[in-house]
Amino acid sequence: MDSAMILQFLVTGLTNGILYAIVAFGFTMIFSATEIFNFAQGEFVMLGGLLAVTFTQSLHLPIFISFVAAICIVALIAGLMQRFIISPAATTSFVTLIIITFGIAIFLRGLAMFVWGKNPYALPAFSGEKPIAIFGAVITPQVLWIFGIAIVLFLILTFFYTKTIYGKAMLACNYNRDSARLMGIPAKRMVTFCFMLSGALGAVGGVIIAPVSMTFYDQGLAVGIKGFVAAGVGGMGSPAGALVGGLILGVVEAFGAGFISSAYKDIMAMIILILVLCFKPTGLFRTGTG
Amino acid sequence: MKREDLFLFLLLSAIVFVVPLFIKNSYYISILVFFGINAIMAVGLCLLLGYSGQISLAHAGFFGIGAYSSAIVTMHGLPPIVGVAIGIILTILVALTIGIPTLRLRGHYLGLATICAGEVIFICFKEMDSLTGGPSGLPDIPLFEIGSIVLTKPIHYYYMAWILALAVIYFSLNLVNTRIGRAVLSFRYKPVGSEDGALSVGIDVTRYRIKIFVLSTIFCSLAGSVYAHFMSFISPENFDLNFSTLLLIMIVVGGMGSIWGAIWGAGIMTYLPELLRAFKDFDTLIYGGILIGILVFMPEGLRVCFSQSLFGRFSITRRGNQDQKRGS
């Protein structure tokens, strides 16, 4: 095996890993704020991608405006979903809540199938398709965009959580809801905001990945599962864990597919998570009891 | 068995044997066969979720193991009953392999672990081409036969599925009132039972968890065998995460914590997609909407809602962690 091949696998792995990390991050945000297992997380990715396709191709808007518009709409959908469906059902058991989010996922999938049909769509790359060769590995410009946007996103989130009052309030709610409320933080509004942010993140993932892999109405569940697995590997409710878990998952998959077998690449992710859960149920990045 | 349960059981048995006298249409009989198959699995999952308080998103996999075992064994010319037996043995082995390490986990973590386990089984069905036919599935599965009796018509499978379902229901209703059943109930949920309490009086919680898990997977395997012979074609998509979730939906829609709720749920969730077929492209959308509506407005499940509106009666509802408010 030569170094160019390894680099190629690494780039592929990181590209997918970034999507998994973004989904896992949104998932873990909702989980730590509300203890809800949000099965509709993958649907945010799907909606983001498909909305961006509509904005660029049917309405001929510039890619940047489509990007922002898609994110805003998905954030709005996520907020409405929390406000009108999840919040009224909040006192039921966690199994019922899981099934409710699954119902929302089915609903959104049905909506997407109705609006966009069953065909896959490709979003044009943000800037050209001409591949760039770096150390023997071939990289499309879109991959560089994905890396860049991921880094910017990471910086924004770090800034948001450590420097802004909203971010700190949200962290406080995640840490202990009742204490946060006693400190005068509007916990209910924070939860809605948390869903919106999570939806927006999912949409970002959907838009940036759409030029690389196609986007279609049924992609949500598969992406969602990868996100859950990444969140589980990193430790449920740990933001840093979600990011690292996602990247690990993407890279392991790419190398597994390259060196062992592409048919069984999905199994590796699952087995990694089962092993992590068996030996350290709280995940790699979280302390405490499972 | 409680008198109320015995009455309902006899009523159900009577309905099962009377219905074929009135319904001759083979399409409706087929739906009732699926109802029976789903009821077997839902009752098993209900024992696991409603009575021992464990979630599983891997049960479609065990349904698949039963179906593939039956299919492969009979396609090699062996009698179907051998296929059923091999399915059960394989299921027990896989269930123990999955259950022993993961059933120490609780709640969400168990959910995650079982999603993974189910996906691993699903990918195996898809990729073990030479044995399972890969993604395109296995066609031409022989009919079920015992001795010289061959089951050819849907009505035969109706009786097969429902006699099996009745046996499973009878067994489960009794199980709840045995030593094992009481032990399981003692550690179920926080407000009703308590794991620490159960441990303190010498109940080996982990062992009971594993026992109930294995039992519920055996039910799935049996249902899988019936399904394979009835359909005569199976493919991996029948056994994916969506189906595991559908089983959970049945339990929750019907009402957790009651075997009758599981049967209600199985019936409704089997018939609903058929009913919505008239809406063509809208069906998924409406299906999702109805599901959300039922769960938001009737979180106790339809069984409780119906009995409350019919008899104005309040039964003790079994819910987990009522004291904790989530997501509002």
pLDDT tens per residue across span A129-173: 788 887 777 888 888 889 999 999 989 988 988 888 888 888 888
Inform me whether the C-beta atom of residue B171 falls under 8 Å from chain A C-beta atoms: no
ipTM for the complex shown: 0.85
Predicted pLDDT of residue A76: 96
Q: What amino acid is encoded at A223 in this protein?
A: V
Residue A267: closest C-alpha in chain B: B120
For residue B313, the model assigns a pLDDT of: 47
Minimum-distance CB partner of B281 among A39, A113, A228: A113
Query: Contacts of residue A196 in chain B, CB cutoff 8 Å?
Result: none
pLDDT at B317 over 50: no
> Rounded to two decimals, what is the model's pTM?
0.88
Instruction: Name the residue with higher pLDDT: A236 or B215.
Output: B215
What pLDDT does residue A233 have? 87
Which residues of chain A are within 8 Å of residue B115 when distances are taken between CB atoms?
225, 228-229
What is each CA distance from A67 to A38, A73, A113, A217, in whole angstroms? 24, 10, 21, 18
Tokens of A29: 């945000």
Does position B111 have pLDDT exceeding 60, yes or no? yes
Extract the tokens encoding B178.
């045995």
Q: Which of A37, A111, A188 sits opposite B111 (nearest CB)?
A: A37
SS (H, E, C) B266-326: HHHHHHHHHHHHHHHHHHHHHHHHHHHHHHHHCCCCHHHHHHHHHHCCCCCCCCCCCCCCC
**What is the sign, positive or negative, of the torsion defined by CA atoms of A112, A115, A119, A123?**
negative
Interface residue A103 vs chain B (CB under 8 A): yes
Cα–Cα nearest to A70, from A98, A47, A99? A47
A32 and B CB contact within 8 Å:
no
Cβ of residue B279 closer than 8 Å to a chain A Cβ: no
- At A287 the pLDDT is 55
Q: Is A279 exposed, middle or buried (0-12, 13-18, 19+ CB in 10 A)?
A: exposed
Interface membership of B191 toward A (CB under 8 Å): no
B61 pLDDT higher than 80: yes
pLDDT in tens, B90-102: 999 999 998 888 8
Q: Where are the domains of chain B?
A: 3-238
Contact B287 A110 (CB under 8 A): yes
What pLDDT does residue A290 have? Answer: 39
Per-residue pLDDT band for B220 (boundaries 50, 70, 90) equals very high
List the beta strands (DSSP E) in chain A: 132-134, 137-139
Confidence of residue B165 (pLDDT cuts 50, 70, 90): very high
Q: Provide the chain A residues 128-187 that lie in CB contact (below 8 A) with chain B.
A: none
Contact in structure between B100 and B210 (CB atoms under 8 Å): yes
236-265 of A, contacting B, C-beta below 8 A: 236, 263-264
Q: How far is CA A254 from CA A270, B173, B242, in A?
A: 14, 49, 26
Which 3 state secondary structure label does DSSP give A128? coil
Average pLDDT score over residue span B293-303: 83
Q: How far is A132 from chain B (nearest CA, A)?
A: 35
> Residue A90 is nearest to which of B106, B282, B328, comparing CB atoms?
B328
Least confident of A16-25, A134-143, A220-229, B246-255: A134-143
Phi then psi dihedrals of residue A173, to 5 deg = -65, -40
Q: Tens digit of pLDDT for each residue in A38-96?
A: 889 999 999 999 999 999 988 888 888 999 999 999 999 999 999 998 888 877 778 88
Of A122-126, B102-106, B275-279, which range is least confident? B102-106
- Whether B113 and A31 lie within 8 Å, measured CB to CB: no
Q: Is B281 on the interface with A (CB under 8 A)?
A: yes
pLDDT at residue B192, as a whole number? 60
Tokens of A88: 């009224």
- Flag whether pLDDT at A285 surpasses 50: yes
CA-CA distance, A62 to B274, in Å (whole number)? Answer: 44
Q: How is residue B13 written in tokens?
A: 């048995």
Q: What is the pLDDT of residue B315?
A: 45
Whether pLDDT at B1 is above 80: no
Q: Which among A117, A102, A108, A135 has a CA at the least distance from the CA of A225?
A: A102
Interface contact B248, partner A, CB < 8 A: yes
What are residue B138's DSSP bridge partners? Answer: B234
Does residue B295 belong to the interface with chain A, where contact is any CB pair within 8 Å? yes
CB-defined contacts A:B, below 8 A: 170
